[in-house]
Amino acid sequence: MRRILVANPKGGSGKSTLAVHLASWFARNDEIVYLGDMDRQLSSRYWLEARPAHLATIRHWDVSDEAFTAPPKNCSIAILDTPAGLHGKRLKHVLNEVDKVVVPVSPSRFDMLATSDFFEELANTKAVRKERVDIGIVGMRVDQRTHAYQQLREFLEQFDLPVITCISQSQRYLQAADTGITLFDNDASHTAVDSQWRPLLDWLVTRQ
C-alpha cells in the first residue's frame, strides 16, 4: 500500500484539488483507492459524494481529526487531504503514517512566506530526518516558463526540496471541484494534462 499525504498549512494552496485528482488517476489505473479528508470543511468528502457513480471508484476513508484510523486492508493507494493550519502534534502524527508528502505551493510571495515555517517544521520531524517519508513540491497555478516559477525554485532551494512538477492555472480545476469529475475522468483532456502530472505520478509510485 502507498500512503500519500497532501499538506500545506496555507489555505487555498490546492491540497484538495491535488488529492482528488491523484485519487481519480490511480482509480482509473485500477488501483483500490481510498480518499480520506482530515479537514472539517470536508471538501474532498463532499466532492466524493458529488462524484458520478459510473466513474472509476474512489472509496471513502473515514478519518476523523481526533484519531487516525489506518486505511482498510484491501487499499492499494491511500490519499489523505488535510486542513489548512496543520502543524505540531497532529502533523507529526500523520507523518508517521505516510510514505510521501505532496506540498502544493503557489508562487505568490505571501504563500511562499507562509510555507517557510512548515518546511522548517517538516525538516525537523523525525520521520523526515530518518528519511521514512519523501517530500515533493508541486508548483500550483504556475507555468514552468515564467519568472514566477524561477522565484519559486529559488525560494525552495534553501530547504533543499525538489519541485516535482507544476500544474498550470485552468478553469477545469474549478469545474472538477464542482462536479466530482476530474480532468483524468475526461478522455479528451487526458493527454493535455499528462505532461504536467506525469512527473508527480511517477514520483509517487517510486519506492524510496
Interface contacts to ligand ATP, rule CB under 6 A: 11-17, 39, 41, 43, 84, 140-141, 167, 169-170, 173-174, 177
What is the b/e burial string over 51-73, where b = at least 16 CB atoms within 10 angstroms of the residue's CB? beeebbebbebebeeeeeeebee
Q: Which residue has the cell 502544493?
A: 104
**Considering beta carbons, is residue 70 or 192 the nearer one to ligand ATP?**
192
Q: Which of the listed partners (Mg ion, ligand ATP, none) does 13 bind, with a CB threshold of 5 to 8 Å by partner kind? A: ligand ATP
Query: Is the CB of 78 or the CB of 147 nearer to Mg ion?
Result: 78
Find the shortest distance in angstroms from Cβ 6 to Mg ion. Answer: 9
Nearer to ligand ATP, 171 or 206 (CB): 171
**H-type helices in the chain, by residue range?**
15-28, 43-50, 88-95, 109-123, 126-129, 147-157, 171-179, 187-205
For residue 169, the partner it binds in ligand ATP, Mg ion, none, with Cβ less than 5 to 8 A by kind, is ligand ATP
Q: HSE, CB side, 13 Å, CA atoms: give it for residue 25.
A: 20
15 binds Mg ion (CB under 5 A): yes
Residue 25 or 173 having the CB closest to ligand ATP: 173
Q: In the bound complex, what is the minimum distance in angstroms from residue 22's beta carbon to Mg ion?
A: 13
| Complex with Mg ion: residue 38 or 77, whichever CB lies closer | 38
**Neighbour count for residue 163 (Cβ, 10 Å):** 18
One character per residue 23-62, x = contact with Mg ion (rule: CB under 5 A):
--------------------x-------------------
The DSSP annotation for 106-160 comes to: -S-HHHHHHHHHHHHHHHTSHHHHTTSSEEEEEEES--TTSHHHHHHHHHHHTTT
Distance CA 36, CA 69 (A): 10
Nearer to ligand ATP among residue 82 and residue 125 (C-beta): 82
Q: Which entry of ligand ATP, Mg ion, none binds 33, CB below 5 to 8 A by partner kind?
A: none
The x, y and z cell numbers of residue 87, run together, are: 502543524
Provide, rounded to whole angstroms, the least separation between the CB of residue 196 and ligand ATP: 9
Q: Work out how close the CB of 165 gets to ligand ATP at its nearest, in angstroms, rounded to a whole number.
A: 12
Binding site for Mg ion (CB under 5 A): 15-16, 43
